Chains A and B, each alone.
Chain A
Amino acid sequence: MTTSDIKQVILDIIADIDDEADFSDLNADKPLRDQLDLDSMDFLDIVMELRKRYKLQIPEADYPRLATLNSCVDYLQPLLQNA
């Protein structure tokens, strides 16, 4: 998957969680939870969707690496390179 593919995967998952999510002013270097209406349960939804869609088992210790859109890409790219 390319960088933009992975960004789109994350945004698609968030759009499934919140159909009113507005990405127009999203800063890819700032925490997603500061910019979008996402709480702790929603964040776990993202983790669960990555597990369901790509069989990724993300350990809790790595959750901080999913904080921003760009950090998601950095973390997920090696895991999804063959996806």
Chain B
Amino acid sequence: MLNPFNRIVITGCGLVAPNASNLAEFREKLIAGHSEITRVDLRYFGPAPAGVCHFPETRYRKNKENRKGTRAGCIGVYCAHEALADAGLTPFTDFYDPARVGVYTGLTEHGTVETENEVYALSQYSYDTRYWTHHHNPRTVLNNPAGEITMSLHVTGPHYSIGAACAAGNASLIQAAQMLRLGEVDMALAGGLSEAVGSFGIFASFKAQNALAEAEDPRKASRPFDAGRNGIVISEGGCMFVVETLARALERGAKIYGEITGYAINSDATDFVLPNPARQAECMRLALARADLTPRQISLVNTHATGTQQGDIAECTAIRAIFANCPATFINNTKSIIGHAMGAAGTLELAGNLPAFADGIIHPTINIEEIDPECALDNLVADTARRNVEVTSILNNSFGMMGINSTLIVRKYAAE
């Protein structure tokens, strides 16, 4: 049995999703398959389906700070405070030294939104750079959202961002687990954040790749595995977890959402944007080996699939290679309901499924009207939730551009 100081558990969750601003609401809407994807109108670009978040933005800091900072920072500060409250750590200084707390934010990209807005503002002054804002650098440094969290919470331990495209959410949790095991920190706030709906460039770039979803009803635009899928729905959002060693969590009587028992990150080394199913399968196998689990012991595979033609097929190929003979392993997809929250996707999707350990429900994948035969997976939970399932382990995939793959395995907490 692992030393309890080496066992890493998730004990708090704060989140913002396009359909919720806390875990209970998020879970309820995922089980119901309730999408609130809407349509936004972007500068230069025009209308597009997107996931926009609504939450009490000034609950934990002033509007002045939100205006000075970034949208990712605003989302991150809210999620971090909510996670600590959920973990029973208010104030966290009752139990942890602020110098021994780490803040790790997973980001797909950062600075795109700010730079676009600032260039537009500069255009109103005939591109005279004397009018370029002094806020540009602090807003666009990659550690910005993590730094905003430290200032709001007065955390003085390490803070930085993990840039890992759309695998970044998982990567932030892996970073937290590693730092806890190394004894670098005693508690971590780790998760993914996305402000991508503020950038016309991100939409236009996916459109140029023929990978931006469109549908008359925006709630039906995100349709992974469906034969008629036509691309990604871009969402903003965030999810920060409180991550601790099991020893400290038990010492303070914390509620435990789950234990991080396996993880892996690897690289395709093949293409800027096209996925590589062989490397994805390797990533899942490595995470399983580290978790000391066989595929049959996985209760739920939460897929990364984003609704692109090639991406969904690649992941299904990889999953089939590992889970073909696993009758008790269910598969679902959260992006069908909330769109693709980019850097936040990994942790948001994990959060949305962690309650399955307690409620025994697998939330559905929605918008599959006609399954793509190449995406037909055994035990894919579609349309309606699957109930009365004994969920003991969740495997969460998140993949990203430049050929980065991540797999995280979280088990239901058991003393032994």
Contacts and interface: CB of A to CB of B under 8 A. Distances in A.
Given A41-B68, A41-B138, A42-B68, A52 B131 contact: yes
A51 interface: yes
B131 A18 contact: no
Contacts of B43: none
B252 interface: no
A48 B130 CA distance: 9
B135 A51 contact: no
A52 B64 contact: no
A52 B125 contact: yes
Interface residues of B, number: 12
A48 B134 contact: yes
A37 B62 contact: yes
A45 B135 CA distance: 9
Contacts of B63: 19-20
Contacts of A37: 62, 64
Contact of B134 (A20, A41, A57): A41
B134 A44 contact: yes
B64 A51 contact: no
A9 interface: no
Contact of A20 (B62, B130, B131): B62
A44 B138 CA distance: 13
A20 B64 contact: yes
B133 A48 contact: yes
A7 to B, nearest CB: 21
A32 to B, nearest CB: 14
Interface in A24-83: 37, 41-42, 44-45, 48, 51-52, 57
A19 B63 CA distance: 7
Contacts of A44: 134
A19 B68 CA distance: 12
Interface in B115-136: 125, 130-131, 133-135
Nearest to B124: A52
A48 B118 CA distance: 14
Contacts of A42: 64, 68
A17 interface: yes
Contacts of A17: 64, 67
A19 B131 contact: no
Contact of A41 (B62, B130, B131, B135): B135
B124 to A, nearest CB: 9
A48 B352 CA distance: 44
A48 B131 contact: yes
Nearest to B133: A48
B62 A18 contact: yes
A18 B65 CA distance: 9
A51 B133 CA distance: 12
Interface string B135-179: 100100000000000000000000000000000000000000000
Contacts of B68: 41-42
A57 B129 CA distance: 13
B105 to A, nearest CB: 21
Contacts of B67: 17
A51 B62 CA distance: 26
A1 to B, nearest CB: 22
B288 to A, nearest CB: 48
Interface of A: 17-20, 37, 41-42, 44-45, 48, 51-52, 57
